[in-house]
Amino acid sequence: MPDAPVLQNAWSTPGLVGAVDIGGGSGGTAYAGAVSFGAGGRLQLSGGIGLQTRTGMSARTVYGIRAALPFSGPTSSFGLAAFAGVGGGNSSRSDAADSVVSTTQVPLGLALGWRRAIGGAHGISLYTSPSYVLYSGGSKSGGLVRVGLGADVGLTNSMGVTVGTELGQTRPRGVGGPSGVLFGLGVSYAFGRR
């Protein structure tokens, strides 16, 4: 999703999870709601929709969808997953540059993680999600190498918090894409009995 870091853990939570998220950096901010579905720890499908605000530009609706395939066992301390996604939004006009920014981004990458249980209902996971992100739209297409660094903290059996950042190559703000370091914060809730 534009102005949100690509944070992908190496494991999948089974069942349905909902979240509220905020992300951004010097270029703007994205506020979103998201859902994911984990199928037995072997596949995770995620999607989100939100509002992106940027200085000098009109607010716009943004979206993102992603599929991840964890390769590690459900009880392993170290994990690996592959992921691919697509995100973008409706056109947004830059008043300062009098140009239209309408960028689609496609991240392709790997997630490497470590996790540890703390008691019966808590835990922590630290991970990195390096990716190659293809950008199209605006006035220029191209690709960048970006790296997400995140932490998930399980507060209860059902509720968790995610914090993270993304850094790497940048694109000029006028053609869309990240113009520096992005930060993100999310609160999630896993539905169903745990």
Domain boundaries, the chain: 15-190
- Residue pair 42/104 in contact by the 8 Å Cβ criterion: no
Q: What percentage of the chain carries pLDDT values higher than 70?
A: 90
- Report whether pLDDT(126) > 80: yes
CATH code of the domain made up of 15-190: 2.40.160.20
Q: Is pLDDT of 98 > 50?
A: no
State the virtual CA torsion across 14, 16, 21, 24 in degrees, nearest 10. 60
Q: 175 in helix, strand or coil? A: helix
What's the CA gap between 183 and 178, in Å, rounded?
11
Higher pLDDT, 25 or 31: 31
Average pLDDT in the chain: 88
- Comparing 2-16, 34-48, 136-150, which segment has the lowest mean pLDDT? 136-150
Which of 71-80, 85-94, 98-107, 148-157 is predicted most confidently? 148-157
What is the tens place of the pLDDT at every residue in 73-91? 778 899 999 999 999 887 6
* DSSP assignment letter at 3: T
Per-residue pLDDT, averaged over 127-133, amounts to 96
Residues 128 and 44: their CA atoms lie apart, in Å, by 17
Q: Where are the alpha helices (DSSP H) in the chain?
A: none
